[in-house]
């Protein structure tokens, strides 16, 4: 039982000491005039930006082109 407890503790230390994988953010995001980013989220091949003027902008991850703009209520 002691050996099992030691193994669990060692595994927890190993798991918690490795840094979490952080997805790469684009170097620059070109937002529409007058908008500033409030939040950023990343998908498989896109990233989204919530702006302070109530829009959710979806950009292509490789080209950086605006795919879609959704107005939030």
Residue 15 in any domain: the answer is: no
Mapped onto helix, strand or coil, the DSSP state of residue 39 is: strand
Residues above pLDDT 70, as percent of the chain:
93
13 part of a folded domain: no
Does some domain include residue 3? no
**The token pair that represents 60 in the structure block:** 């292509």
Range(s) of the domain holding residue 61? 24-73
Q: Is residue 35 within 8 Å of 46, Cβ to Cβ?
A: no
Instruction: Report yes or no on 7 lying in a domain.
Output: no
The domain tally of the chain equals 1
How many Cα atoms occupy the beta-carbon half-sphere of 68 within 13 Å? 8
61 within some domain: yes
pLDDT at 23: 65
Classify the C-alpha dihedral 8-11-16-21 as positive or negative: negative
**70 within domain boundaries:** yes
pLDDT digits (tens, 9 = 90+) for 21-43: 766 667 777 888 888 888 889 88
- In whole angstroms, give the CA distance from residue 73 to residue 21: 33
pLDDT value at residue 58: 94
User: Is 11 part of a structural domain of the chain?
Assistant: no
């Amino acid at each position: 039982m002691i050996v099992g407890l030691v193994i669990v503790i060692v595994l927890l230390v190993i798991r918690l000491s490795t840094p979490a994988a952080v997805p790469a953010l684009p170097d620059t995001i070109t937002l529409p005039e007058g908008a500033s980013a409030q939040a950023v989220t990343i998908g498989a091949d896109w990233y989204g930006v919530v702006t302070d003027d109530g829009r959710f902008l979806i950009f292509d991850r490789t080209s950086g082109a605006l795919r879609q703009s959704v107005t939030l209520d």
